[in-house]
Amino acid sequence: MTKAELNQLRFDWKVAVCLGDRETQVLPCWFKTCIPGLDACEGFIQGCHWLKRQTVEGFIGRQLFGPGSDYVQLAAWDPRSGVPGCEKHHTRFDSQRQPTLVVPRELVPTTVEMFCADWGLEQKLEERSPPGRICPECEEVPGVYGGRCWECRERSMA
């Protein structure tokens, strides 16, 4: 795959993830739309890989096709692998330094599940989005962290 082809693949991924089938209006932040009670969005909408791109490239390269294969880049930039997210929620979802935004398995988009099934990444998906637990305080599933949802955790720290 040439550099120009790879750049086009990356561009097409960003367009597909952030615009979907719309032509002009960017999709809203998936995290804010799908996780009840999540804090307000900040920053521009970005394409967010559900599984880190490096994880996908490493697994596909080592386990299936070998490093340098075009399939590695095709998997890493498959539009089904991402969701649109604001800068704030994208950072919380990806960061190891800030509290991680944990999305339980029950909320994973169908497109992401199909992507993982097609590329043999089911175990990586389970690691990234474990089955949800019920918050003992409000009995909600979404956004559970340390046994409690974000809202109950923040309320107890105030």
pLDDT confidence of residue 132 = 67
pLDDT confidence of residue 134 = 64
HSE value, Cβ hemisphere, 13 Å, CA-based, for 18: 18
Q: What is the pLDDT along the chain (158 residues), one digit of tens a residue?
A: 888 998 899 899 888 888 877 666 788 999 999 888 888 999 999 999 999 999 999 998 888 787 778 889 999 999 999 999 999 999 999 877 665 788 878 788 889 999 999 999 988 988 888 876 666 667 665 544 445 566 776 776 66
CA distances from 72 to 4, 114, 118, 131 (A): 16, 17, 13, 28
CA distances from 4 to 1, 10, 37, 112 (A): 8, 10, 42, 26
User: What H or E segment, with its residue span, contains residue 150?
Assistant: helix 150-157
pLDDT confidence of residue 145 = 44
Q: Where are the chain's structural domains?
A: 3-157
For the CA atoms of 44, 50, 53, 54, what is the dihedral angle to 10 degrees?
120
pLDDT confidence of residue 20 = 77
pLDDT confidence of residue 157 = 64
HSE value, Cβ hemisphere, 13 Å, CA-based, for 59: 17
